[in-house]
Chain A
């Protein structure tokens, strides 16, 4: 009897508390999300304004320029070239890194060979060598190879990665042993095994690695700044720097700069939104 009243009491209390609590929760989330997105929303608005409109600081209406700041950035400030370069660079790194890492993981998980552990450590230890640790000799190497100002310099150092090998290795190790046994008994060759069994079973992980790599590569700034000096080979992140420099004669054309920034953000943002599921799954595995 006593327990029954207790539970009804709790239920009643919950009912009373429930509604305002939920409203508060949702309100809190919507508020934080809007706050986080506000610089972007403001940038989108300002990117439609003329310089005069931008200089009336509190003018928050859509501007008179429409999309012409965007076409101006793309056509007159070379953003179409920069965007294309960024895109080609990112796709090459994604394809190269995924291919190389799948091969390496295949060897690590399904082959018996001497010094397996040492080879794996050799790959993993490169986590200690981010670009700033080797930037001076790496730049000299690119100069010696004649690779500066080229896609080779932008992509070459990025096509192998400890993280991707590690993730594919984890993924392969999770594939059931009985399936591997069947493949072994049937005498399936390693490449057939990779393309017919492993890759189809690892689609989510591969998609995740592709998203992480695409976003990471697209967002590179320091290395392209150092290794590319020829504007026609430059990527869009450094293009923002050029735009900032050239738009500063007289009144700074902030509408134009905002349009360039929005363009430079769009591809990784779209990739994140479309492929957030495999991204989330893959990232949280990486941590283990």
Chain B
């Protein structure tokens, strides 16, 4: 923006306008974040009352701990399942909605409502519907297939159930962006392909998906951040990290180490590792998913 269009030049006034935001960001974001870095270098004893310098000791014990390494591994696997599960289903539903020529937004609202769904509610609803003994879905699944749902005791099943809940809750957000991106593609670009008599779903993968690639990249990153950071209520309400650590994701382990075992230094080191994760993701986002906006929605 050229300076000619900036009508005001009082630095004092600008500072006053920025002050409330800056104060909150410094007090509640920057300061605690820096404290996290400092604390990560200390070992905390006696319920956090005494701190002893340990340098990178916390990081060494995390990286050599089988529990933490396993937690990291299953979190990455969980993120991958959630990201691609969500994108696959959202793409399908978003494309169907885009394909009907109804301009009314009834379908859209009926498809995006999980955006408003609290993760805790999503967890508790599916906890009941998929309950090994009482779930109505479980009942019919076991009636119609040889499959038995036993996710209170079966690790891989618990992992899969949490992925289903995470995907379900995230569908709304993804469908919003996919439908918007599809609607932004200029019609002229897709007309040629359409006349060739290409099937509807071939069209989706050959024509539409490449055209909304920037939106898809954006969603991959947002869904990854979601899987890493926002799935705490699911674990807390459904599996408590079990059975035998099968769903002990990084965020849940961090919570337990910090607030149940009071290992504040160790928990802070885990926060630092999460900071590295989110930094990498944000960097990828800046590098690959923004600065476009032509068909990106």
CB pair A261–B121 under 8 Å, yes or no, is yes
CB of B64 within 8 Å of the partner chain: no
CB pair A33–B28 under 8 Å, yes or no, is no
Candidates B136, B195, B233, B254; contact of A42 at CB < 8 Å: B136
Chain A 48-82, CB-CB to B under 8 Å as 1, else 0, gives 00000011011010000000000000000000000
Candidates B10, B28, B92, B293; contact of A141 at CB < 8 Å: B28
Q: Which residues of the partner chain A approach B93 to less than 8 Å between Cβ atoms?
A: 29, 32, 36
Of all A-B residue pairs in the complex, the 6 with the closest CB atoms, nearest first, are: A137-B35, A160-B24, A134-B32, A184-B7, A111-B14, A107-B17
CB of B84 within 8 Å of the partner chain: no
Residues of chain B in range 1-54 having any CB-CB distance to chain A below 8 Å: 1, 3-11, 13-15, 17-18, 20-25, 27-33, 35-36, 39, 48
CB pair B32–A138 under 8 Å, yes or no, is yes
Can you give 24 A-B contacts (C-beta < 8 A)?
A22-B100, A28-B96, A104-B20, A111-B8, A111-B17, A112-B8, A122-B22, A132-B254, A133-B275, A137-B32, A141-B35, A159-B24, A165-B21, A222-B232, A222-B255, A240-B121, A244-B237, A258-B125, A261-B124, A264-B121, A265-B121, A284-B176, A284-B180, A284-B297
B144 smallest CB distance to A (angstroms): 13
Q: Which residue numbers of A lie inside 8 Å of B, CB to CB?
A: 10, 21-22, 25-26, 28-29, 32-33, 36-40, 42-43, 46, 54-55, 57-58, 60, 100-101, 103-104, 106-114, 119, 122-123, 126-141, 156-157, 159-160, 165, 173, 177, 180-181, 183-184, 190, 193, 215, 218-219, 221-222, 225-226, 237-238, 240-241, 244, 252, 254, 257-258, 261, 264-265, 268-269, 271-273, 276-277, 279-280, 283-284, 287-288
Given contacts A112-B3, A283-B176, contact A129 B100 (CB under 8 A): no
Q: Which residues of the partner chain B approach A219 to less than 8 Å between Cβ atoms?
A: 116-120
A sample of 7 more A-B contacts (CB under 8 A), given A240-B121, A288-B293, is: A29-B107, A57-B134, A57-B136, A129-B30, A133-B278, A135-B255, A156-B24
CB of B290 within 8 Å of the partner chain: yes
Q: Which residues of the partner chain A approach B32 to less than 8 Å between Cβ atoms?
A: 134-138, 141
A160 to B268, CA, bound (A): 23
Given contacts A165-B21, A288-B296, contact A36 B7 (CB under 8 A): no
B28 smallest CB distance to A (angstroms): 4
CB pair A25–B9 under 8 Å, yes or no, is no
The closest CB in chain B to the CB of A251 belongs to B134
Given contacts A58-B139, A136-B264, contact A101 B21 (CB under 8 A): yes
CB of B247 within 8 Å of the partner chain: no
Q: Which residues of the partner chain B approach A156 to less than 8 Å between Cβ atoms?
A: 24, 28
CB pair B21–A29 under 8 Å, yes or no, is no
Chain B 118-135, CB-CB to A under 8 Å as 1, else 0, gives 111100111011000011
Chain B 138-169, CB-CB to A under 8 Å as 1, else 0, gives 01000000000000000000000000000010
Most central of A114, A157, A258, A265 by chain B CB within 10 Å: A265
Given contacts A39-B125, A133-B271, A160-B24, contact A241 B100 (CB under 8 A): no
